């Protein structure tokens, strides 16, 4: 890819558009009272997804950009679980009784730091408060370095059927530079334990753009991962924002690859995975031909949510735990980010909503356009506008940014139908940004 094009569109600075509007637009005007009303309005006959944020890790990874807390003790986790149970009860009291659930995801942090018996009890409570479908997708994020046989058995007993393993890189030099030393054997052992206990749907998370990373080491990491044959792989670009994440200041910026090198690394990993039989899903996911993501992409129903690409058909998500984001019918809500503030609110028998966003009709139209671009690399703007009863002229009537993208050969535009050119899909976020009403920064 041409260096000039990469520099012009400043793709690394743009939102990932997992949701729209982005969290930057959330406001404290939307709080616990609004969240309570929105929960009460959820249709009793529509399935929802549940997301649980477990913010604990045993050690800090210097690249991490998530809300988390480092603890060597179990007592903070037990205290958190007690609060989380109260939040489940509080939310359960607001939503229609036994609201149907088709998707559950435990993210972190490291959810598998929860003791096996405690995890089982948590799932029992969920099933009492919600009508969790027998076919529900129940996923848990795992750190192979702390994963145990007992935890593997507990996950299977609780009905977990998908595990997402944090790998990032198998290169020891890169691992040392990000303070996450994790052997190939540790990862392989975790995969074997999961499969032996019936948790056969396995995801790997990999990252490019890390310190001391090279194209060769990226290819080697992808090749090593392929040998374990996970069903899916997410290949993310490292976002270096030390002004927001203090732990990233421990990374030597001189060892980070520049934009052209990052693009080369991403392409090399993609080519390695595709050659191994994986299908590319959207910008950064890869899946085997029979995986739900691949089937969703073929059917044109691939979704984009806070976790990335998804085959989940639910339009509503209830978030639990500090910093968790929910997507309810009327808009977005986010819990208190700081664990202490979150606990204080729940212990006071109040929902922990700290801020949120009330969606307008125009927001919904723009969100639909952006989601299709991010999922399909093409979108019929007039068709989406007509579906929502919205005039497409406001979107295509002042197309300065879109015209620039077309002039530079990034997209093809014909009568409102927009397609990102194959060779420029790496810049899809820049195309999506053309429909972001809140993105004030000009092109570089």
Percent of the chain whose predicted confidence (pLDDT) is above 90:
84
* Helix/strand/coil for 380: strand
The arithmetic mean of pLDDT across residues 6-29, rounded, is 84
Question: In this predicted structure, what is the pLDDT of residue 316?
Answer: 95
pLDDT of 10: 58
- For residue 390, how many other CB atoms are within 10 A of its CB? 18
In whole angstroms, how far apart are CA 57 and each of 35, 77, 238, 295?
29, 10, 19, 34
In degrees and rounded to multiples of 5, residue 51 shows phi and psi of -120, 130
State the pTM of this model: 0.93
Residue 403 confidence (pLDDT) above 90: no
Rounded CA separation 204/141 (Å): 10
Domains of the chain, first to last: 22-320 (3.80.30.20), 361-435 (1.10.10.920)
Which residues have C-beta within 8 Å of that of residue 385, sequence separation ≥ 6? Answer: 365, 391, 392, 395
Question: What confidence tens digit (pLDDT) does each residue in 134-176 have?
Answer: 999 999 999 999 999 999 999 999 999 999 999 999 999 999 9
Q: Return the pLDDT at 443.
A: 41
Strand partners, 441: none
Fill in the DSSP letter of residue 441.
P
Sheet holding 279-281, edge to edge: 279-281, 285-287, 232-237, 201-208, 162-168, 131-142, 100-108, 48-54, 317-320, 325-327, 331-335, 353-358
The token pair that represents 286 in the structure block: 């890869």
- pLDDT by residue (tens digit) across 215-257? 999 999 999 999 999 999 999 999 898 988 899 999 999 999 9
Q: Residue 282: what pLDDT?
A: 94
pLDDT tens profile 177-194: 999 999 999 999 999 999
Do residues 401 and 418 lie in contact, with contact meaning Cβ atoms separated by under 8 Å?
A: no
Number of separate helices (H) and strands (E) present in the chain: 16, 19
Residue 426, pLDDT score: 86
**Cα 307–313–315 angle (5° rounding)?**
75
Integer distance in angstroms from the first to the last C-alpha of the chain? 17
Residue 11 banded pLDDT, cuts 50, 70, 90: low
Residue 398 is predicted with a pLDDT of: 56
**Mean pLDDT across the stretch 297-322?**
92
**How sure is the predictor about 57, in pLDDT bands with cuts at 50, 70 and 90?**
very high
- Output the pLDDT for position 442: 43
Q: Which two tokens stand for residue 55?
A: 């913010």
- Mean pLDDT for the stretch of residues 359-369: 95
148 Cβ contact partners less than 8 Å away, ≥ 6 residues apart: none
SS3 per-residue string spanning 190-236 = HHHHHHHCCCCEEEEEEEECCCCCCHHHHHHHHHHHHHCCCCEEEEE
Question: Residue 124: is its pLDDT beyond 90?
Answer: yes
308 vs 116, residue with greater confidence: 116
Angle formed at CA 266 by CA 262 and CA 268, multiple of 5 degrees: 115
Between CA 385 and CA 4, with CA 10 as vertex, the angle to 5 degrees is 115
pLDDT in tens, 275-303: 999 999 999 999 999 999 999 999 999 99
């Amino acid at each position: 890819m041409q260096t000039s094009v990469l520099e012009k569109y400043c793709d690394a600075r743009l939102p990932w558009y997992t949701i729209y509007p982005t969290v930057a637009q959330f406001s404290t005007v939307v709080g616990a009272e609004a969240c309570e009303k929105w929960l009460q309005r959820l249709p009793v006959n529509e399935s929802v997804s549940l997301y649980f944020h477990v913010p604990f890790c045993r050690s800090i990874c210097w690249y991490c950009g998530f809300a988390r807390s480092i603890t060597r003790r179990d007592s903070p986790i037990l205290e958190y679980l007690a609060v989380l149970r109260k939040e489940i009860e509080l939310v359960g009291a607001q939503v229609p009784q036994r609201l149907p659930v088709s998707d559950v995801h435990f993210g972190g942090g490291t959810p598998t730091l929860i003791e096996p018996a405690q995890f089982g009890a948590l799932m029992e409570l969920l099933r009492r408060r919600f009508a969790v479908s027998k076919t529900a997708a129940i996923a848990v994020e795992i750190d192979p370095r702390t994963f145990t046989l007992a935890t593997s058995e507990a996950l299977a007993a609780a009905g977990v059927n998908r595990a997402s393993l944090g790998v990032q890189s198998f290169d020891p030099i890169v691992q040392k530079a990000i303070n996450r030393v994790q052997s190939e054997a540790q990862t392989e052992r975790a995969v074997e334990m999961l499969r032996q206990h019936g948790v056969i749907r396995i995801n790997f998370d990999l990252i490019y753009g890390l310190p001391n990373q090279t194209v060769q080491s990226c290819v080697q990491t992808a090749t090593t991962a392929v040998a374990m044959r996970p069903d899916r792989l997410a290949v993310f670009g490292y976002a270096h924002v030390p002004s927001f994440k203090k732990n990233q200041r421990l990374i030597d910026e001189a060892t980070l690859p520049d934009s052209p090198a990052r693009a080369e690394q991403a392409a090399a990993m993609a080519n390695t995975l595709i050659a191994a039989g994986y299908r590319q899903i959207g910008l950064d996911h890869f899946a085997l031909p029979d995986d739900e993501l691949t089937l969703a992409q073929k059917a044109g129903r691939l979704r984009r949510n806070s976790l990335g690409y998804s085959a989940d058909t639910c339009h509503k998500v209830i978030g639990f735990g500090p910093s968790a984001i929910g997507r309810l019918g009327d808009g977005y809500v986010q819990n208190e980010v700081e664990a202490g503030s979150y606990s204080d609110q729940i212990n006071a028998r109040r929902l922990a909503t700290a801020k949120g966003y009330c969606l307008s009709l125009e927001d919904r139209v723009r969100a639909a356009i952006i989601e299709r671009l991010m999922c399909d690399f093409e979108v019929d703007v007039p068709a989406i506008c007509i579906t929502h009863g919205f005039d497409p002229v406001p979107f295509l009537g002042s197309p300065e940014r879109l015209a620039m993208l077309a002039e530079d050969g990034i997209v093809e535009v014909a009568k409102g139908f927009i397609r990102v050119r194959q060779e420029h899909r790496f810049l899809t976020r820049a195309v999506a940004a053309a429909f972001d009403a809140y993105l004030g920064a000009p092109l570089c």
